[in-house]
Amino acid sequence: MKRQLQALLDRSRFLRPYGFRVVKVKQGECTLELPHHKNLERPGGIINGPALMAAADCAMWLAIKAKLGIEGDALTSELNTAFLAPAKSEHVYCTARILKFGRRRIYGVAECHGKKGGLFTHHTLTYVRPG
């Protein structure tokens, strides 16, 4: 499944600027790497907030795809973000975990962190399954 999800990322033009890499996939969970790029920095060398939010949204999307199958889909209906510490000049890892998988709604959390575990952001996400 990891290879299939990476292929999906690679062919999704709207995600290409971030360079996301699938690190780990398991039941109801996905971890992505957001490689450090100078073009993602805001003044002061800090990774910009929209990039961290995109990582959380994408990690949850892939966790859902891993559960539903690549052809299955769900759409973001709500994303809340708490910025806890700056991500400065390092790769960011974002782990999303599904907490409730309903027929219509999917609820989960995501956290962006550094390689050593320092927490940058905490996100709550709600997705809706079309249909």
Per-residue exposure over 44-70, b if at least 16 CB sit within 10 Å of its own CB, e if not: eebbeeebbbbbbbbbbbbbbbbbeee
Residue 3 host element (H or E):
helix 2-11
| 39 contact partners, CB below 8 Å, separation of at least 6 | 17
Give percent helix, percent strand, percent coil of the chain, each to the nearest 5.
Answer: 30, 40, 30
Confidence of residue 86 (pLDDT cuts 50, 70, 90): very high
Residue 83 has pLDDT above 80, yes or no: yes
Encode pLDDT of 22-33 as tens digits: 999 998 999 999
Q: What pLDDT sits at residue 80?
A: 98
Token couple for 106: 């999917």
Confidence of residue 131 (pLDDT cuts 50, 70, 90): confident
Q: What pLDDT sits at residue 18?
A: 94
Token couple for 126: 């709600």
Q: What pLDDT sits at residue 129?
A: 95
Catalogue all structural domains in the chain, each as residue range(s) with its CATH number. 2-128 (3.10.129.10)
Q: Is 17 helix (H, G, I), strand (E, B) or coil?
A: helix
Q: What pLDDT sits at residue 19?
A: 95
Encode pLDDT of 89-120 as tens digits: 899 999 999 999 999 999 999 999 999 889 99
Encode pLDDT of 5-53 as tens digits: 999 999 999 999 999 999 999 989 999 999 999 999 998 899 999 999 9
Q: How far is Cα 125 from Cα 15, in angstroms, rounded to an integer?
A: 18
